[in-house]
């Protein structure tokens, strides 16, 4: 009787071990397939961006700057996809490439060319809003301008999204006032005042300085965007598109999400 019981116990243990092993193998194959699919999808967008960067040259300050930013995003995306070991990291590389394509699109607009097909939305882009009118403000002894269109005074494009957790509207600017936060990973004192001064009452930018300081605009839509990022679809996040948060996965600070593409 004891012998039979022992045999049954051994068989149960063996069956459990087989199920665990089979499940592990299946999960491993699924993970590998997901990574391969994400890598292929990212490389498709990166190659598209690379073709634009190689074949399109700016003709004025605005288009040249936009193409320089597109080239920077191409370099970042290429590096990210080579280091990607998870589907999420591959998605971040794709996001960088899409951002680059937004810059290419901006360069084409600046040169009076067909901007090309619509692009996937970037994380935080919808909640960041869009510059809808010309503004010129005085801040810390200098004039900063924002415009919905490129000009000699506003040659710096931003596709809209998040920088260091704060929303920055899509538009053309006299200077990239968001870049110090992009490099440092945090906004300096007075950033909320600058935001309020520049965008107060502007249609298309639906939040105030307090919302900027807290890192959100429309709370519901912001949460929706973040949820879509978590699901790997919709707004594709990254990165905080204030940008791609390369720090977590590639050791690069809060870097990519803050650039756009074509």
Highest mean pLDDT, choosing among 136-145, 204-213, 235-244: 136-145
Tell me the average pLDDT of the chain: 81
Instruction: Calculate what percentage of the chain has a pLDDT beyond 90.
Output: 50
Contact at 8 Å (CB) between 242 and 254? yes
CA 144 vs CA 29, 129, 159, 166: distances in Å: 53, 18, 18, 19
Average pLDDT over residues 232-261: 39
SS3 annotation, the chain: CHHHHHHHHHHHHHHHHHHHHHHHHHHHHHHHHHHHHHHHHHHHHHHHHHHHHHHCCCCCHHHHHHHHHHHHHHHHHHHHHHHCCCHHHHHHHHHHHHHHHHHHHHHHHHCCCCCCCCCCCCCCHHHHCECCCCEEEEECCEEEEEECCCCCCCCEEECCEEECCEEECEEEECCCCCHHHHHHCCCCCCHHHHHHHHHCCCCCCCCCHHHHHHCCCCHHHHHHHHHHHHHCCCCCCCCCCCCCCHHHHHCCCCCHHHCCCC
- Residue 84 above 70 pLDDT? yes
Residue 243, phi then psi, degrees to nearest 5: 145, 180
Among 37-41, 99-103, 185-189, whose mean pLDDT is lowest? 185-189
Residue 137, both tokens: 């403000």
Q: Pick the more confident residue, 166 or 102.
A: 102
- Give per-residue pLDDT as tens, 101-133: 999 999 999 999 999 899 999 988 888 999 999
Tally the C-alpha atoms within 13 A of residue 121's C-alpha that lie toward its C-beta. Answer: 18
Q: Is residue 40 part of a domain?
A: no
- Residue 259 in this model has a pLDDT that exceeds 60: no
Average confidence (pLDDT) over 176-205: 90
Average pLDDT over residues 1-5: 71
How are beta strands 171-173 and 142-147 bridged, if at all?
antiparallel
Q: What is the pTM of this model?
A: 0.71
Is the pLDDT score of 241 beyond 50? no
By the 8 A CB rule, do 114 and 130 touch?
A: no
Q: How confident is the model at residue 151 (pLDDT cuts 50, 70, 90)?
A: very high
In-domain check, residue 237? yes
Whether 170 is in a domain gets the answer yes
Would you say residue 25 lies in a domain? no
- Asked, for residue 136, whether it belongs to a domain, the answer is yes
130 or 183: whose pLDDT is higher? 130
Has residue 218 got a pLDDT over 70?
A: no
Residue 30 in any domain: the answer is no
Least confident interval from 96-100, 176-180, 206-210: 206-210
Residue 157 has pLDDT above 70, yes or no: yes
Residue 175 falls inside a structural domain = yes
pLDDT at residue 22 above 80? no
Please state the domain count of the chain: 1
pLDDT for position 34: 86
Task: Tell me the residue range of the domain where 171 lies.
Answer: 125-250
pLDDT grade, residue 246 (50/70/90)?
very low
Query: Is 243 within a domain?
Result: yes
What is the predicted pLDDT for the residue at 228?
A: 42
């Amino acid at each position: 009787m004891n012998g039979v019981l022992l045999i049954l116990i051994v068989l149960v243990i063996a069956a459990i071990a087989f199920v665990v092993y089979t499940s592990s193998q299946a999960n491993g194959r699924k993970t590998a397939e997901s990574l391969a699919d994400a890598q292929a999808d990212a490389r498709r967008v990166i190659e598209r961006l690379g073709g634009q960067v190689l074949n399109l040259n700016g003709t004025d300050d605005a288009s040249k700057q936009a193409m320089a930013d597109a080239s920077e995003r191409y370099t970042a995306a290429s590096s990210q996809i080579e280091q990607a070991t998870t589907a999420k990291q591959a998605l971040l590389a794709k996001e960088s490439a899409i951002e680059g394509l937004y810059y290419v699109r901006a360069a084409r607009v600046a040169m009076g060319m067909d901007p090309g097909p619509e692009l996937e939305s970037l994380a935080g882009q919808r909640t960041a809003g869009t510059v809808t009118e010309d503004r010129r403000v005085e801040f810390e002894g200098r004039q900063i301008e924002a415009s919905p269109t490129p000009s000699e005074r506003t040659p710096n494009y931003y596709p809209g999204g998040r920088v260091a957790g704060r929303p920055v509207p899509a538009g053309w600017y006299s200077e990239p006032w968001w870049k110090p936060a992009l490099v440092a990973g945090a906004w300096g004192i007075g950033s909320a005042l600058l935001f309020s001064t520049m965008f107060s009452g502007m249609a298309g930018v639906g939040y105030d300085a307090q919302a900027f300081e807290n890192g959100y605009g429309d709370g519901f839509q912001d949460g929706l965007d973040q949820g879509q990022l978590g699901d790997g679809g919709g707004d594709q996040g990254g990165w905080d598109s204030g940008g791609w948060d390369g720090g977590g996965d590639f050791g690069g600070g809060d870097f990519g999400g803050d650039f756009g593409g074509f």
